[in-house]
Amino acid sequence: MSLSDSETSYGGGGGSDYKPFRHISRDRLLYEMLRSAKSADSKAWKVLIMDKVTVKVMSHSCKMADITDQEVSLVEDLFRRRQPLPSLDAVYFIQPSKENVVMFLSDMSGREPLYKKAYIFFSSPIPKELVNHIKCDTSVLPRIGALREMNLEYFPIDSQGFITDQDTALQELYGNVDNIRRFNTYLNNMAIRIATVFASLKELPHIYYRSAKESDESAPTVSRELVPTKLADAVWDMVSKYKSTIPKFPQSETCDLLIVDRSVDQIAPVIHEWTYDAMCHDLLDMEGNKYIHEVASKTGGPPEEKEVVLEEHDSVWLELRHSHIADASERLHEKFTTFVSKNKAAQMQQSGRDGGEISTRDLQKMVQALPQYTEQVEKISLHVEIAGKINTIIRDAALRELGQLEQDLVFGDAAAKDVINFLRTKQNTTPEYKLRLLMIYASVYPEKFEGDKGLKLMQLAKLSPDDMKVISNMQLLAGSSTKKASAAGAFSLKFSNQKTTQAARKDRTDEEEETWSLFRFYPVVEELIESLNKGELPKGEYACKNEPIPVPKGNSARNSKSTQIAPAPTAPPHSMRSRRTANWAKSRTSDDGYSSDSTLKNVAADFKKMGKRIFVFIIGGATRSELRVCHKMTTKLRREVILGTTSMDDPSQYLTKLKLLCDSRATVTPDGLGI
């Protein structure tokens, strides 16, 4: 028995084994864990046993077919009563908790263990006392084939995104934090899961984080402002230990990590984002990535409900997800036309509908083309239906006018009179949409919500006290201000160190011709990634745990490091800063009308030439627009940009979380948050 870690080297920074992020997660689980769990005298098939967390980890990375391909005949829950299978080996993929270890020992101790041999893989580092607890059971030791730390406890949601699956992060860390022990435990769990990303990828990050704002010296620092700082400390402690415990782990920094919280951009979670992906999750009744639609019954009965998952295995979704909804609709129409013109079965069926005779030979060709016809027509029809539903909602809810006002506010082209006029004339707008509009207005014009001004606006919008609480709770995320409130009970929203007067974003429309309207908005994360890439993060707002060594004058530290690894693109110069068009999401259409538009697939051939990875972690939830930006910036910067967050939130989910925030202003000194 040996306690060891991964020996597979994936390395970043353009190494020979450089692989896409999600690919590495899947490979480690299938090959490094499941395939390695075998001995010469064992039968081929084995049992896989997991707890609630590791089941989620596995399901986010692998399909059931992938698992059975690794000779797993049965998947079991650690805490459910299980049938003894003494002739089979078992693979335990579990968290290193006392409860899990006790259950494992119960399975494998005594005269009649449940399984022949056990291969134990822990999702994160195991405390020494638990290792000693296992070693003390002499009946179990000979039955252990491996005891290893997999260090894989994150949840990939995309080829360039992961979550730590902590839905309550806003409430736990930014609400009532009187319970410091609970606060620390929650933050530590977050740090552990983030750190296992770097363990899996064999990356040692430069850790940048949004530092706490300066506050009045007479008042203790508000705990919520220290969250990014404390998380950066905890992640650095974890990855520093990996240097000495994981074989072949890099001893010097290989990538960049930027830690921010939701306060960095409170507009992105609520503004209407006009891409196909964002519109699906914002406007349709979806559960995660699952969409339910009606299909014709094969038996001739009433329509049946069918559940589909909108993920990267769907080539049409992959191509269109980051396109403007108008662009997606146009391309779907083109796809269907192209498909019919090239597919025999579709042509024959169309001919029959037009009243033409179908010959026996034509029927034979149609039958031969049917399998492909059925599968492809289902895919295209599904997305035509979804896009049609979205366009109907946009029209019925008059979303174009609302979306225009939202973006005009963000870019300084609208003011109070425009908001008031909209609220007066658009009485039928849903309360959620009116609330989201006022949240954007409060972010851009915080002074308009001082005193009773905000109350009057909420009354004009006919919003409930619960909705009003959402606006006031935005202050909890905004951080403290040295300015005193102008009146008793009033608040002043402060969203950045720079005072916002007319606009929350700089318009970049002069850099590229506009193709689609309502495509001006871009999340703050885009500018942060660009600044990090150039080594130009504002020193007063962002600190670094392990500051890079300065380089000779004339070159910034970040620029120098990037250019050493990432060769300059040979393509003609092109602005990295434009979001007006959907050009970065345009398809490479194949002959059958399909294309695969994954950013990483497009650059797969040059993957080894890509520069160091950039990781951005957002505490308190991220948005579809921020995930889209990471795909976009990967192509622009030729550095794989990976988004991490506590949860991926749609606008309605974010509003619910803000409503749950507590108004308690618990404060602690920095030393009181030792992790």
Residue 8, Cβ density class (10 Å: 0-12 exposed, 13-18 middle, ≥19 buried): middle
Mean pLDDT within 219-236: 82
CA distances from 32 to 24, 69, 162, 652 (A): 10, 14, 20, 39
Contact yes or no for 377/339 (Cβ under 8 A): yes
Is the pLDDT at 240 greater than 70? The verdict is: yes
17 versus 597: which is more confidently predicted? 17
412 pLDDT more than 50: yes
More confident residue, 563 or 356: 356
Residue 222 pLDDT level (bands cut at 50, 70, 90): low
Contact 265, 410 (CB under 8 A): no
- Quick one: tokens of 623? 């948005």
Instruction: Give the model's confidence band at 381: pLDDT under 50 very low, under 70 low, under 90 confident, else very high.
Output: confident
Q: Using one digit for the tens of pLDDT, what is the confidence trace for 588-636? A: 333 333 343 444 454 454 555 678 999 999 999 999 999 999 999 999 9
pLDDT at 452: 80
pLDDT for 246 equals 93
Whether the predicted pLDDT of 569 surpasses 80: no
Q: CB under 8 Å, gap of 24 or more: what pairs does 99-103 form?
A: 100/51, 101/130, 101/133, 101/134, 103/78, 103/79
For residue 517, what are the contacts with CB-CB under 8 A and spacing of at least 6? Answer: 400, 404
- Tell me the CA distances in angstroms from 209 to 242, 428, 457, one per residue in order: 20, 43, 36
pLDDT at 455: 85
What's the pLDDT tens digit per position in 51-110? 999 999 999 999 999 999 999 999 999 999 999 999 999 999 999 999 999 999 999 998
Mean pLDDT of 371-385: 78
Mean pLDDT of the chain: 80
**Average pLDDT value for residue range 436-459:** 87
pLDDT confidence band for 500 (50 / 70 / 90): very low
**pLDDT at residue 586 is higher than 80:** no
Q: What is the largest CA-CA distance in the chain?
A: 91
Model confidence pLDDT, tens digit, residues 279-324 = 999 999 898 899 998 777 777 778 888 889 998 888 899 999 999 9
Secondary structure element (H or E) that encloses residue 181, with its range: helix 180-201
Angle, helices 128-135 vs 98-108, to 10°: value is 10
The pLDDT assigned to 370 comes to: 59
Span 195-212, average pLDDT? 95
460-489 tens-digit pLDDT: 999 988 888 898 888 767 754 433 333 333
Alpha carbon distance 54, 639 (integer Å): 30
pTM value > 0.85: no
Q: Which residue has the higher pLDDT, 307 or 341?
A: 307
The answer to whether the Cα torsion of 402, 404, 405, 409 is positive or negative is positive
- The span from the CA of 469 to the CA of 447, in Å, is 17
The Cα–Cα gap between 655 and 69 comes to 42
List, in sequence order, the alpha helices (H) in 246-343.
Answer: 276-283, 315-320, 325-342
Residue 367: pLDDT band by 50, 70, 90 thresholds?
low
Provide the pLDDT confidence category of residue 335 given band limits of 50, 70 and 90: confident
Higher pLDDT among residues 258 and 447, named by residue: 258
Q: At what angle do helices 399-410 and 416-425 cross, to 10 degrees?
A: 160
Query: Which pLDDT score is estimated for 343?
Result: 67
Q: Check residue 156 and give left, alpha or beta (phi > 0: left; psi -120 to 50: alpha).
A: beta
Who's near 552: CB < 8 A, 6+ residues apart?
Answer: none
Give the separation between CA 437 and CA 271, rounded to whole angstroms. Answer: 8
| Per-residue buried b or exposed e for 298-310, using 16+ beta carbons within 10 Å of the residue's own CB | eeeeeeeeeebeb
Copy the structure tokens of residue 142: 């000979």
In sequence order, what are the beta bridge partners of 163?
A: 155, 645
pLDDT digits (tens, 9 = 90+) for 503-554: 666 766 544 435 566 788 999 999 999 999 999 999 889 999 988 666 554 4
For the chain, what percent of residues have pLDDT higher than 70? Answer: 74
- Residue 154: pLDDT band by 50, 70, 90 thresholds? very high
Specify the pLDDT at position 327.
Answer: 92
H or E element at residue 586: none
DSSP state of 414: -
Residue 580 has pLDDT above 50, yes or no: no
pLDDT digits (tens, 9 = 90+) for 29-53: 999 999 998 876 666 799 999 999 9
End-to-end Cα distance, the chain: 32
Answer yes or no: is pLDDT of 364 > 60. Answer: no
Task: Give, as one character, the DSSP assignment of residue 447.
Answer: G
pLDDT band at 495 (very low <50, low <70, confident <90, very high): very low
> Higher model confidence: residue 599 or residue 165?
165
The CA-based angle 476-480-483, given to 5 degrees, is 130
Contact by Cβ (8 Å): 567, 608: no
Closest C-alpha to 486, from 494, 496, 474, 497: 494
The pLDDT value recorded for residue 362 is 56
Using left for φ > 0, alpha for ψ between -120 and 50, and beta otherwise, residue 554 falls in left
For residue 75, the cross-strand partners are: 48
Q: Give 34: exposed, middle or buried? Use CB within 10 Å, 0-12, 13-18, 19+.
A: buried
> What is the predicted pLDDT for the residue at 113?
95
The alpha helices in 354-464, defined as continuous H runs, are: 360-396, 399-410, 416-425, 431-444, 453-460
- Give yes or no for a contact between 9 and 17, defined as CB atoms under 8 angstroms apart: yes
Angle value at C-alpha 202, between 198 and 205, nearest 5 degrees: 55
3-state secondary structure 82-149: CCCECCCEEEEEECCCHHHHHHHHHHHCCCCCCECCEEEEECCCCCHHHHHHHHCCCCCHHHEEEEEE
| Under 8 Å between Cβ of 246 and 195 | no
In this structure, what token pair is assigned to residue 321? 């997800």
CA 151 to chain centroid: 19
- Whether 350 shows a pLDDT value over 90: the answer reads no
- Please give the C-alpha separations between residue 43 and each of 71, 89, 111, 116, in angstroms, as whole numbers: 10, 8, 21, 10
| Whole-number pLDDT of residue 498 | 40
Handedness of CA 98, 99, 102, 104 (dihedral sign): negative
What is the per-residue pLDDT for 328? 93
CB 180 within 8 A of CB 671: no
Contacts of 410 (CB under 8 A, 6+ apart): 267, 271, 440, 444, 503, 504, 505, 520, 521
**Does residue 666 have a pLDDT over 50?**
no
In whole angstroms, how far apart are CA 670 and each of 264, 304, 476, 499, 523? 21, 58, 18, 26, 30
> Does residue 642 have a pLDDT over 80?
yes
pLDDT of residue 497: 37
Structure tokens at 641: 């940009």
Nearest to 161 by CA among 590, 563, 599: 599
Tell which residue, 612, 605, 609, 597, has the closest CA to residue 529: 612
What is the mean predicted confidence (pLDDT) over 177-193? 91
